Amino acid sequence: MRCFFDPRQLGHSPAKELHNGSFVDYAETPARAAAILKTIGAFEAPDDHGEAPILAIHDADYVDFLKTAPARWAEAGRPGDVMGYIWPIARRRAVKLDRIDALAGRYSLDASTPLTAESWSSAYWSTQSVLAATHAVLAGDRSAFALCRPPGHHAGADYLGGYCYLNTAAIAAQAALDSGAKRVAILDIDYHHGNGTQDIFWTRGDVFYASVHADPATDYPFFWGHADETGEDAGAGTTLNLPLPQGATLEAFRAAQASALAAIASFEPDLLVLSFGADTWEEDPISQFRLTTGDYAVLAREIAACGWPTVIAMEGGYAIDALGANVASLLEGFV
């Protein structure tokens, strides 16, 4: 299987995040990518498909914010990385503001996703990696892997969050549609619900979003991912959320994934994007499921058996010592 990664994805390295009431070392480190690179061996650098596929998903003003916020933050005399600390609650009217502090809240979901001077470049090349994998699959490969880092599924059309800046899975899905696919499905098996992906395709009938994740009653991102969220308008019925309780093992996960695959099969997609997080692993430091390394191959075989050309986009997974083996197990299940 072809695997894609660009070394510029390593530049992004925020110092701290706000986690359960204290500032702790940022969990989504360059060492995660390094661990996967070390285990998997042969990666190709992606071609540059430019900004158009990004702007097909993300608002231009948000993209401009990602590029310019670190310099504006420094100009305002703020130390360290850009981090929002005030948010416009959903009911506030949209006000056009210029102050960097206001913008940091306007374009973010949480205080666990800082912006550094390298963030734009790393997020940009993360999208180029998923676009390269998408084009490999469109050209006939059964599957391809993009080591997306930073990850993508918490980022919406106009907001960052959950360690994500640009929604790689959404960008891949849209690129496939723009290259002639009629329907694309996204299966998200990261521990966390992919709120950004769900938001982006909420009213779309040409993209099916299915997610197996920790119940948002107990886990981030709390405000999305409940079972009664199923899409609206042209997207009514094209969102499927399958929340599981903390402590879930392969048995429950596999049953939920089977439901997701059955729903996707009824949708008859031309291509599948798999948002893969290894934070479902039994000893992940920020998550509470109990999958083993070998379980990823089992899950992957069941996905591969459906026969859809599949783009695999890396999402979370924070147990660095096990990350390479967990990704390798998933990829083994595909080949």
Q: Please list the active-site residues.
A: 154
81 or 136: whose CB is closer to ligand Q9C?
81
Q: Which residues contact 260 (CB under 8 A, 6 or more apart)?
A: 187, 210, 211, 212, 240, 242
Q: Which does 220 bind (CB under 5 to 8 A by kind): Zn ion, ligand Q9C, none?
A: ligand Q9C
Query: Taking the complex as a whole, how short is the minimal distance between the CB of residue 120 and ligand Q9C, in angstroms?
Result: 18
> Which residue, 329, 295, 290, 287, is CA-closest to 312?
329
219 forms part of the interface with Zn ion (CB under 5 A): no
Q: Which residues contact 21 (CB under 8 A, 6 or more apart)?
A: none
Query: Taking the complex as a whole, how short is the minimal distance between the CB of residue 144 and ligand Q9C, in angstroms?
Result: 20
> Which residue, 145, 110, 148, 129, is CA-closest to 26?
110
Instruction: Please measure the distance between the N-terminal and C-terminal CA atoms of the chain and give it in whole angstroms.
Output: 7
Query: Taking the complex as a whole, how short is the minimal distance between the CB of residue 275 and ligand Q9C, in angstroms?
Result: 9
119 or 195: whose CB is closer to Zn ion?
195
Q: Which does 19 bind (CB under 5 to 8 A by kind): Zn ion, ligand Q9C, none?
A: ligand Q9C
Q: Which does 125 bind (CB under 5 to 8 A by kind): Zn ion, ligand Q9C, none?
A: none
Q: Which does 308 bind (CB under 5 to 8 A by kind): Zn ion, ligand Q9C, none?
A: none
**Chain residues in the site for ligand Q9C (CB under 6 A):** 19-20, 112, 151, 154, 162-164, 190, 192, 220, 277, 279, 315-316
Identify whether the C-beta of residue 181 lies closer than 8 Å to the C-beta of residue 211.
no
Residue 254 burial (C-beta neighbours within 10 Å; 0-12, 13-18, 19+)? middle
Identify whether the C-beta of residue 67 lies closer than 8 Å to the C-beta of residue 165.
no
277 forms part of the interface with Zn ion (CB under 5 A): yes
Question: What phi-psi label fits residue 231: left (phi over 0), alpha (psi between -120 and 50 degrees) or beta?
Answer: left
316 forms part of the interface with Zn ion (CB under 5 A): yes
Q: Which residues pair with 19 in a beta bridge?
A: 22
> Which residue, 24, 119, 137, 122, is CA-closest to 71?
119
Binding piece for Zn ion, criterion CB under 5 A, among 45-53, 166-174, 254-262, 279-287: 279-287
- H-helix segments, 107-248: 119-138, 168-178, 195-201
220 forms part of the interface with Zn ion (CB under 5 A): no
229 or 279: whose CB is closer to Zn ion?
279
Query: Taking the complex as a whole, how short is the minimal distance between the CB of residue 165 and ligand Q9C, in angstroms?
Result: 11
Find the residue with minimal CB distance to ligand Q9C.
316
Query: Taking the complex as a whole, how short is the minimal distance between the CB of residue 279 and Zn ion, in angstroms?
Result: 4
Q: Which does 112 bind (CB under 5 to 8 A by kind): ligand Q9C, Zn ion, none?
A: ligand Q9C
165 or 191: whose CB is closer to Zn ion?
191
193 forms part of the interface with Zn ion (CB under 5 A): no
Query: Taking the complex as a whole, how short is the minimal distance between the CB of residue 276 and ligand Q9C, in angstroms?
Result: 10
Peptide bond between residue 221 and the one before it cis (omega within 30 degrees of 0) = yes
